[in-house]
Amino acid sequence: MAQILTERHLPSGHVAWVAMSEIADGSMSIGNYQTREKSAGQASVSLKESNRELLVPPISNWSYLNQVHGIQVVEVAGASTVDGDDGDALVTTFEERVLTVQVADCVPVSLISEGGAIAVVHAGWRGLLEGVLEEASNQLNAVRSGKQFAVVGPHIGSCCYEFGKEELKPFIHKHGNSVLASTNIGSDSLDLSAVVVSILDGKEIEIIKQDSSCTFCDNRYWSYRSSGTEKRQCLFAWIEKK
């Protein structure tokens, strides 16, 4: 069932929440609106069951992107939502706007600014190489300056993320040997966690929660590498109404 990754109290008195859905909540793929609505409702119910004080904003407040492995950051302003615009990160300063990214092996990240804003990021290897995380951090800072914190959700582990020697080179060049790992059958792999940590360190963003579950190994999550599935779990974040 959906779980809370982080409850962060901001200087303004607001609380930023970051949560993660699981297979049990249903697929959050963008293709089918009704399925998403039902799944998001299910995730809300499971969160309420785990924390009676928590009110998850209704599905009409949820924003989704058509994720394209790029670096485009889309802002959710005022009472609007984003429903299927191309992009790989969302940012907002507004209360009760739920930002989501859909994943099945890629890294879901939420950034929280003490200035009173949040972002969510869909970070696959292409986006990480092109700078989607840095771009989201810059845009977050542009809407509200302040110290930033990061929440990193479950993604494919180095145990299962076989990667070609040539494809590993740009990552090693940029982040050093810490990103080079081995799968559990001994082949070269990319450590996405290490890439994310290296980028966040470079931006002086403190990680306040890092879920180390591997989506390939852990049967609570869908994994594209494991089964080629179209189904997706989602990380969702919002600023609670004061």
214 near Zn ion, rule: CB under 5 A: yes
The reply to whether 160 sits near Zn ion by the rule CB under 5 A is: yes
Minimum Å distance from CB 121 to Zn ion?
A: 22
131 Cβ neighbours under 8 A, 6+ residues apart: 71
151 binds Zn ion (CB under 5 A): no
Instruction: State the Cα–Cα distance between residues 65 and 52, nearest whole angstrom.
Output: 29
Applying CB under 5 A, which of residues 216, 222, 236, 238 lies at the interface with Zn ion?
Answer: 216
Smallest gap, in angstroms, from Cβ of residue 125 to Zn ion? 16
Q: Between 165-175 and 192-202, two packed helices, what is the crossing angle to 10 degrees?
A: 20
List, edge to edge, every strand of the sheet that includes 62-66: 3-9, 15-20, 233-239, 98-103, 62-66, 83-86
Closer of 102 and 158 to Zn ion (Cβ): 158
List Cβ neighbours of 165 (8 Å cut-off, separation of 6 or more): 188
Cβ at position 132, least distance to Zn ion in Å: 23
Least distance CB 184 / Zn ion (angstroms): 7
DSSP designation for 58: P
Contact with Zn ion (CB under 5 A) among 157, 175, 179, 239: 157
CA dist list (Å): 58 to 62, 100, 114: 7, 13, 25
Nearer to Zn ion by Cβ, of 101 and 160: the residue is: 160
By CB under 5 A, is residue 54 in contact with Zn ion?
Answer: no
Residues that bind Zn ion in the complex, under the rule CB under 5 A: 157, 159-160, 214, 216-217
